[in-house]
Structure formats: structure tokens, C-alpha cells
Structure 1
Amino acid sequence: MKDAGRIPGAPRRLQLVLDADFLARIEAALAQALPDWGLDRGLRLDLLSVSENANFLARDTGLGDLVVRVHRPGYHDRDEIISELAWLDALARDQVVPAPRPVPFRDGRLIADLPDGDQMRHVVMFRYLPGQEPEPGDDLAGWFETLGAMTARLHAHARAWQRPVGFRRKVWNFNTMVGDTPLWGDWREALGLDREGHLLLARTVARLKDRLADIGTGPARFGLVHADLRLANLLVDGRDLSLIDFDDCGFCWYLYDFAAAISFIEHEPYVPELERAWVAGYRTVAELAKDEAALIPVFVMLRRVLLTAWVASHAETPTAQALGPGYTAGTLALCDTFLRG
């Protein structure tokens, strides 16, 4: 998950974690790598976002507008990134949904390695997609119906696609999200969490563990998903919607994609309308039985606890600072409702 998207209520400006030395190093290293893509070494690079990954816009008269993504070390390895790019390429080839298309080197490679001190950073390039993040006032229900249909097409493709040998992405399950091996931090470290709140969260996590065990991870419910379809990763361009930032795609419950879509707005009163619209859109493409749709609140609660842990483990980021302990308080209110349900 990148920290570039504006959260509701945050100032309308790019939210960045800026380190001038880091940016200078990366830009200098990128200048040396640009010729591998057939680009001029002096091509201007404009920073789009930076937190865990740094994203730059490059405008080339020949190749057009491009996005260069510089990965943070230690999160995804080369095989995982190649796997993400393989799915994106397949989605483009099969015309499933509008999504970023990887741009290879002149020799066909897809990943560059940039030296950064004593470590290496992986770098990939994508075709730029136009558009703006939808706002809560922008007929979100209408866009969520479109998103539901697009998500169903993603899931259908994921089920049918013959993944290449060596395909490997992270598995998002109870343990890796809120259990013993969390990828995004420990919910017990939630900002402002007191003893009473800890007990409430612990009961919620225990309930989630039981519910998810009952739901299971069979192929009808669990497979390759985007896993981060929040508003910041949707681009509205006129009447068109594109999906970006597949950096967290992996194996998870299919219905989790709706939960991710309402990240940071789970508490808003219009969320039930968004859910109805998303389900209606999904059903225009694929079957979604009533008893299956009834499981959505489990995944919304799971995502909210996961994000609460993420905020705590990324306390230096503008998103976490804007949300602060208030996000934990909101999580506890949702926990109380969930446990009463």
C-alpha cells in the first residue's frame, strides 16, 4: 500500500514523506537507467508520490507519458514483482479492465536494479493512465457499481488464467493480516489504544479468526485479487474508470476487494449504499449469492483492523499523522458494532 492517496478530510495536496537526500540519490540513479528504456538521460522526472515506493512521471515525445516506480527494499522480491507484471500484462492482453501496462527495456527486461547506498532498489515502468481519484461527492455509488463489475471481471480472469511457472505473490490470510505474522504491523500497537480498547480489539480479532476459519480458503472464495482497490487507486477520466497500483495484489478472499475499496471511509453513513451498488455491479458479470454477500462485513472489519495496524507501523507518514488516534477510536466503534451483529 502506498501513502500517496489523499484520505478524506486531508488537505488537497500530495501527501509525501520527503527526504531530499533520498530523492536526489534516486533521481541521479534513474538518470543513468533511463537509456535502458530508450529514454534520454536528461529526461525530466516529476515526483508523483513517495513513501514506501517512489513514483515519478516521465514525459517522452516518443513513448508518451510514463510512470517510473522505485520499490522500497525488503517488501517484494524480484519474483513477486515479475509476477505482478505478468498479471498486468495478461489483463491488458485479454482486455479485462483498464490498468497500467508494464513498459519493458529495449532488451525485453522488465525490472531495473538501482544502487542506493549498500542496497539495491527494484525499478519498473508503466504506461501512464489519465484521471483523478473519485471524491465522496462524485456519485460514488455510480462508480462503485462500475467497480463491482470490474472487480468481478478481475476475479473471473484470476480464476481462469493459467499463471506462469514461478508466479508468486503474498498470501493475505488471517495470520499475515492480523495474526502471528502480520505484514503491515501489529494491531496491539494501535495509536492511542488503552487497556479497554485492547480487550475489545482482541475479542474482535478472535471473532474474525473463527469467522474466517468457517469461511475457509477454498478456490470458490479465495484466490488472486487486487487487494487495495481504495479510492486513491481508482482513476476517473470522464466516464471511464481505471484501476492502478497492483503492488499489493496477492492471494486473499475475493470479497476482500470490496472491503479494500472502502478503506478509511468504513464508518461513513453512505457505505451501505456503496456496498449495494458494488454488489449490483458485481452481479452483472458473475454470480454472487445472497449468503455470500452477507459475509462482506467480516472482510470490512478485517480490513479495518489491518489498516489500524498499518497506521501504527507507519506513524511517520502523513496519512497516519492525519488519521492519528482518532482512527483507532473509530475502529473500536466498528468493533463494538461487529461484535453485536
Structure 2
Amino acid sequence: MTTDAEFDALTTEEQERRLTAFAEFVLDQWDDGWRTIRLIKYRENAVFAVANATGEQAVLRIHRPGYHSDVELRSELAWIEALSEDGIALPRPLRSRTGLVLVTAQVKEVPHARQVDMFEWVEGRPLAHLTETAALIEAYRQLGALAGSMHRHSARWHRPEDFRRHAWDIEGLIGVKPLWGDFRELSVLSTDDRLLLEQAASRAALELEVLPAEEYTLIHADLVPDNVLLGVDGVKVIDFDDSGFGWRMFELATALFPYLDAPHYPAIEKALFDGYRSSFALSQQERARLPLFLFLRSLTYLSWVHTRSGTQTAREMTATFVRRARTLARVYLERAAA
């Protein structure tokens, strides 16, 4: 059996080849003769476009080991199915020939048994590929409305008793062991950076402790442009891998974060909130907490690049994430002091 160290030492191309062979192997657990077309993404999970003999397409997701338990993944899939039943258009899970939404398989060329699920195919262009400002602003209005509909659903949904997902709460964001790692350990932070971020994080913890309970619900938690597809019938959201319990404004801050430096950011922000209010109530007090949650989102990205320092994304984005965290910490502290 291949070990983690042996697999990590392989080239990316060889890892992808082995995961593609794994995908071909596990697809036999679904009916209709599914086969892989191409690897869509390999960063955390390995995600493949697949097709069957009739030409129908779907998405196969091979999970990285250790991030979610089987119970947590079945809970994610249960929420997606419940959202779909409530009229929110999402790619629904496809059950295996034995009726399972989640299967586990293992091959000797890939370390660990891997959890695998499959979803309906969704046609669309990722928001990350939009270059037309007007189209992007309209897409963010639609995204806001979709986020509001999801939050409205989660606020009233009676979850199964065994429902389990991680929490983007105080501990998950800035505690001793945050979900994505400890931003404080990022080696490139200067002494001044650490002092600034700690000051802002301490102030944020105090504010989070007293926020109204209704602002905390089940959220997607990763509404970034790569996870939002624009099709002929509007926007659709994919990839609930990071979904869990969190503050609604953390959701909206996540959607806005990639465009903070864009010249049309104010229009994007307005469109997102206008769309959200068209689906679900948002008070001025909650809306005013955006600087808090933009700052907290920035810390999660520092944690991410710290724990994945060897990745291309970390090498390219660490300096940008540090700069943004520094700026957002100052903005948040100035607002808190006002």
C-alpha cells in the first residue's frame, strides 16, 4: 500500500494519473457505465467530469482523507437534497447502485481509503471567468438572492438528529485550533503584523460572543467565484465541502473577499446585499458587521497558506493575503473604536 510520504513525493502529473485510475475503479459502483472525461480540479479533493454511455454527464468527487467523517459528508449531502426539495437549484447527489450517496474505496496506488460521491452535472461559466463588469455585478445580485434563499431555508429546516458539520464559530475561526490551521504560525508575518492581528482577533472574539443567535445558521461558507456558475437560467452554487455552521455575514464576506481590490468593488457589494435583501431580511446592524467578517475571512486564508505552504496557490497568494489581512484588521479596529 502506498504511504502518504511516497504519494506526496510523486509529481503532480503522477498523482493525477493514479487518482484518475482510482476514479475509473470506483465508478463501477454506479450504474449506467460511467467513465471519466477529464480532471476538473485537484487541490483539496480530486473532482472529475464523467459521462455514461448515453452521453449524460456528472461530477465525481474523491475526498481528501481526514477532513470530514462519513457522518459529516452524509450531512452535507442531506442538506443539498433538502435545499433542492425546497426549490433551490443545485446539483443533487447521484446514488450508487446500492442506493448510497457516499461510498468508500481503496486501491494500493493511492494512500488511505477514500470517500467518494457523485453529483448531477451543471452547465455554466464560473464567475471567476467573467470579465464584463455589468455581467459580474448582475451575477452578484443573483448570488445575493441565492444566498438569502439558502439562509432562509437553513433557518427553518429541521435537521436530522445525526446531522454533523464543522463550525465557523469563535473556535473554528480564531481559537486555539482553527479549522484551517493557526494563522499565528505563518512564518512571513512580521512582529508588527502579529501584534496587529492579535489585537483585532481579541476584539473580534468579544464581539462574536454577543451577536444575536439568529445571525448564526447553516452556511455554504465558500461562495467564491470558482464555486458559482452562471448559466442560461442564472447562477448556481456548487461545492459544499466547507459548509457548516457560521454567521450569515461570514458567508457574504467570503463572496466579496476576492474583489476587494477591484475598482468596481462598491457596485459588487451593493448588488450582493440588494439581492440578499430580496430573499431574506438583513438589518442595518447585521450589515454593519461586514468589516468584522472580512477581517475574520482574511485570517482563514492566512491559515490556509500556512498549512499548505508548499502549494502553488500559497506561493502566489501569501503576500497578497498578508497585505489584505493587515488592511482589514486596521479597518475593523477603526470601526470598532468609532
Q: Same fold (TM over 0.5)?
A: yes
- The answer for the alignment partner of 1:150 in structure 2 is 146
Give runs of aligned pairs for residues 251-266 of structure 1, distance below 5 A: 251-266=245-260
Does the 8 Å contact 2:133/2:264 carry over to 1? no
Provide runs of 4+ in structure 1 moved above 4 Å: none
Deviation at 1:239, TM superposition (A): 5.0
- The answer for the alignment partner of 1:79 in structure 2 is 71
Deviations 1:264-320 (A, max 9, x none): 333444333222222111111222121221112211111111112212211222222
- The answer for the alignment partner of 2:5 in structure 1 is none
- The answer for the alignment partner of 2:299 in structure 1 is 305
- The answer for the alignment partner of 1:8 in structure 2 is none
- The answer for the alignment partner of 2:235 in structure 1 is 241
Does the 8 Å contact 1:25/1:116 carry over to 2? no
Pairing partner for 2:160 from 161, 164, 187: 164
Please state whether the residue corresponding to 1:264 is helix, strand or coil.
Answer: helix
Deviations 1:90-130 (A, max 9, x none): 1122212x222100011211112121545211000001111
Deviation at 1:24, TM superposition (A): 3.0
The alignment yields a C-alpha RMSD, in angstroms, of: 1.9
Please state whether the residue corresponding to 2:188 is helix, strand or coil.
Answer: coil
Give runs of aligned pairs for residues 175-324 of structure 1, distance below 5 A: 175-190=171-186, 192-216=188-212, 218=213, 220-238=214-232, 240-324=234-318
Amino acid at match of 1:107: T
Deviation at 1:191, TM superposition (A): 5.2
Q: 1:269 to 1:339 in 2, by over 3 A?
A: farther
- The answer for the alignment partner of 1:45 in structure 2 is 37
- Would you say 1:33 and 2:26 are equivalent positions? yes
Does the 8 Å contact 2:256/2:269 carry over to 1? no
- The answer for the alignment partner of 2:3 in structure 1 is none
Amino acid at match of 1:125: M
- The answer for the alignment partner of 1:62 in structure 2 is 54
Higher helix fraction (1 or 2): 2
Does the 8 Å contact 1:266/1:304 carry over to 2? no
Deviations 1:50-83 (A, max 9, x none): 0110001112243711110000000001011101
- The answer for the alignment partner of 1:14 in structure 2 is none
Amino acid at match of 1:178: I
Deviation at 1:148, TM superposition (A): 1.1
So what's the TM-score if we normalise by structure 1?
0.88
* Equivalent-residue separation in structure 2 for 1:116 and 1:19 (angstroms): 18
* Equivalent-residue separation in structure 2 for 1:238 and 1:39 (angstroms): 28
Does the 8 Å contact 1:84/1:246 carry over to 2? yes
Q: 1:277 to 1:44 in 2, by over 3 A?
A: closer
Q: Percent identity over the alignment?
A: 31
Q: Which ranges in structure 2 are unaligned for 5 or more consecutive residues? A: 1-9
Deviation at 1:198, TM superposition (A): 0.9
Amino acid at match of 1:85: L
Q: Which ranges in structure 1 are unaligned for 5 or more consecutive residues? A: 1-16
Q: Relative contact order (alpha carbons < 8 A, sep ≥ 6): 1 or 2 greater?
A: 1
- The answer for the alignment partner of 1:3 in structure 2 is none
So what's the TM-score if we normalise by structure 2?
0.89
Please state whether the residue corresponding to 1:23 is helix, strand or coil.
Answer: helix
